[in-house]
A and B are shown apart, each in its own frame.
Chain A
Amino acid sequence: MAPLQEPHGRALSGSERIYGALLAAYPKEFRRAHGREMAQVFRCMCHEEVVSGGRGGLTRLWVRTLLDLLATALAERTKKALGRRMLVGSSSKLVRGGGLAAAAGGVLLIAYGVLSWIIAARLYGEMNDLGGVKLGPQASLRLIQEVGYLLFIGDSRAWSDCWSAPDGPDRGRPDRRPVASV
């Protein structure tokens, strides 16, 4: 892969780091199976968009990628949740668990509000470092909503992993190989 000049190189590395962190929205099993390759593919896409379309191309790529990530992460989370429900089996157990689920839902909603603001503020800072990409108030609010949603459906442990590891959720795992170049 040809080296990119500043600020494109910075935008590229920033995008890769953010995408690596956002992969935490997928279930752990899915990330283990495909996370490294997805990051690799996204890196190639970013490189291509930056070379051909500059910052505008990268912004369009981000919009497409976020929509794709939201839709597929939700689908994978739903599939996982339905799989668990099938394992539980009897509906009576589900009814008994309803009260507990409602209480847990309330706690999650509160956590959702608090955590989404914290994480979105961090992401907002990252985005502003992406080669000068600035977000307006509406875009910021949208970002906060999307990040909050990801948190709500995401794996909280994975989020804590990815925010403590600079290169995303897969860093440091023995079964991971480094992201390849184009």
Chain B
Amino acid sequence: MGGHDEDPREFLPLTPAVLEILLALAEEDLHGYAIMREVERRTGGETRLGPGTLYRSVGQLLQRGWIREADERPDPKLDDERRRYYRLTDLGRRAATAEVGRLEGLVRTARRKGLSPAARPRTAQGEA
């Protein structure tokens, strides 16, 4: 394992898959398939992680110390004991927060320049 002492901001911007996984783990521990389902549910099916993308990202996050395998399981009786559950670490939470802050700044700039989806495009205004 490496990279645990590094500043998470060094890794920004995060890939969409990494940010989606961090968001999925923000409130509860999940196993791989549950992460995939949560991302799909939250994005209305727009984002679908394949097994390769999911576990490549999970591997990177484990290596950076942003997530770790959870010691306990949500409900052992209701689940397959061979599944690994993943938990967001404090470092991972800081990384996700930093990325969200970066995106917020980007959105603020976009709004200032009239690129917000809520605003009517300038060309359309001119034509109307």
Q: Which residues of A contact B (CB under 8 A)?
A: 26, 30, 33-34, 37-38, 40-42, 44-45, 64-65, 67-69, 71-73, 75-76, 177-178, 180-182
Query: Given A34-B58, A37-B84, A40-B83: A71 and B52 within 8 A (CB)?
Result: yes
**A42 and B82 contacting across the interface, CB-CB below 8 Å:** no
Per DSSP, chain A at the interface is helix
- A37→B52 CA distance, assembly (Å): 10
B59 within 8 A of A: yes
**B59 and A37 contacting across the interface, CB-CB below 8 Å:** no
**A69 and B84 contacting across the interface, CB-CB below 8 Å:** no
Number of B positions contacting A (CB below 8 A): 17
Additional A-B contacts beyond A41-B54, A68-B52 (17; CB < 8 A): A30-B56, A30-B59, A33-B55, A34-B59, A37-B84, A41-B36, A64-B50, A69-B51, A71-B52, A71-B53, A72-B50, A72-B56, A73-B52, A75-B56, A76-B56, A180-B80, A180-B82
**A69 and B82 contacting across the interface, CB-CB below 8 Å:** no
Q: Distance in Å from the Cβ of B85 to the closest Cβ of chain A?
A: 11
Q: Which residues of B contact A (CB under 8 A)?
A: 32-33, 36, 48, 50-56, 58-59, 80, 82-84
Chain A residues lying within 8 Å of B48, measured Cβ to Cβ, are 64
- In the complex, the chain B residue whose C-beta lies closest to that of A43 is B33
- A68→B48 CA distance, assembly (Å): 10
Q: Distance in Å from the Cβ of A180 to the closest Cβ of chain B?
A: 4
Query: Given A34-B55, A180-B82, A180-B83: A68 and B33 within 8 A (CB)?
Result: no
Chain A residues lying within 8 Å of B51, measured Cβ to Cβ, are 38, 41-42, 45, 65, 68-69
Query: Given A30-B59, A75-B56: A68 and B50 within 8 A (CB)?
Result: yes
**A68 and B53 contacting across the interface, CB-CB below 8 Å:** yes
Chain A residues lying within 8 Å of B54, measured Cβ to Cβ, are 38, 41
Chain A residues lying within 8 Å of B59, measured Cβ to Cβ, are 30, 33-34
